[in-house]
């Protein structure tokens, strides 16, 4: 089953999409199977990380911003703005797709795990998400 969704974003940052995904899984009535979250973009990415303390997310963003700064003299791909090439690099270091088991009609995320869409651009306003949900044969 393919489900297309989208979400509003406003500037760089980690957007928690855990409940959005869990809700779609619940609605599917799939008891056991596999959920794949796919992001059809190259300057935003997916991440499973600590969702409890905002300071962890903040440090993660600051750390990656320092590793991949804007206005690096190395960049030649600069026509789409100073945040464009860093966005591609940041996406490269994280993920465009995540597959997570479905158990008891939900994703068995760890107690501190959230699923995040990581927006790397300053001015993006909408991002698409493509979900694939598959039920185990014996669990239909």
Interface residue list for its own copies (CB under 8 A)? 1-2, 32-34, 36, 38-42, 47-50, 53, 55-56, 58-60, 62-64, 66, 68, 72, 74-77, 85, 88-89, 91-103, 108-113, 128, 130-132, 134-138, 140
Contact 46, 94 (CB under 8 A): yes
H or E segment to which residue 131 belongs: strand 126-135
Cβ-based nearer residue to its own copies, 23 or 53: 53
Cβ-based nearer residue to its own copies, 8 or 74: 74
Question: Alpha-carbon distance 34 to 13, whole Å?
Answer: 27
Question: Alpha-carbon distance 65 to 82, whole Å?
Answer: 12
* Structure tokens that stand for 17 in this block: 């999409």
Cβ-based nearer residue to its own copies, 27 or 63: 63
Q: To the nearest whole angstrom, how small is the minimum distance from the Cβ of residue 115 to its own copies?
A: 10
């Amino acid at each position: 089953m393919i489900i297309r969704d989208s979400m509003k974003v406003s500037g760089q940052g980690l957007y928690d999409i855990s409940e959005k995904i869990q809700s779609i899984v619940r609605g599917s009535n799939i008891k056991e199977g596999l959920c794949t979250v796919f992001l059809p973009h190259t300057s935003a990415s997916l991440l499973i990380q600590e969702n409890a303390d905002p300071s962890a997310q903040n440090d993660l963003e600051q750390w990656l911003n320092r590793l991949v700064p804007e206005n690096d003299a190395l960049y030649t791909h600069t026509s789409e703005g100073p945040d464009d090439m860093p966005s591609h690099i940041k996406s490269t270091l994280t993920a465009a797709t995540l597959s997570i088991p479905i158990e008891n009609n939900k994703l068995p995320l760890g107690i501190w795990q959230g699923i995040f869409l990581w927006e790397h651009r300053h001015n993006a306003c909408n991002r698409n998400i493509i979900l694939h949900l598959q039920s185990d044969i014996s669990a239909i």
